[in-house]
Structure 1
């Protein structure tokens, strides 16, 4: 596709700092990080930290992957689970995602 500029968005501040060279690479993810750093040499890369609340669909799909046995792949909107389609529709219509914490009333 001949991309020259790439933006990496992550909800992991740890990963952002590792990819920017600010922090040491943990041994358990060294291989994938080194592969990513190699690929980054071919592009102008901007790395952004996105809070999880701003990345609801990705967070949902990551949790979904842990719950489902076997590899999952969604190629079309209709293949997404109902909750994923709801999240995508809300995002498409710029409805903000609010994370509400229940606090005990004293």
Structure 2
């Protein structure tokens, strides 16, 4: 089993590819120990592959309170939508536009 993160920096720090800032050394080391004991690895996923987690996180940040959901129907509509899109395997694409200056 793998654990996905949309933070490439976090993944590289956990996998000892990047130097860990001193403020995070203990926390990262705890994460490494737990991952090792559970025999898990961390991989990077783009933010587009993490829409459900982002939606849940934003819900908590916006409300500033602890929330618990015990069934799919209790979830806010935008989060149910993200889950249904994931289940249907509809791709979530990142589209960047570039402004062209015509002189």
Q: TM-score, normalised by structure 1?
A: 0.79
Equivalent residue for 1:3?
none
Aligned residues: 101
Query: Which one of the candidate residues 55, 61, 68 is aligned to 2:63?
Result: 68
> Which sections of structure 2, spanning at least 5 residues, go unmatched?
none
- After superposing on structure 2, the runs of 4+ consecutive aligned residues of structure 1 that deviate more than 4 Å are 100-106
Contact preservation (8 Å) 2:35, 2:41: no
Q: How has the CA–CA distance of structure 1 residues 74 and 32 changed in structure 2, closer, same or farther, with 3 Å as cutoff? A: farther
Q: TM-score, normalised by structure 2?
A: 0.81
Query: Which one of the candidate residues 26, 35, 45 is aligned to 1:40?
Result: 35
* Larger helix fraction of residues: 2
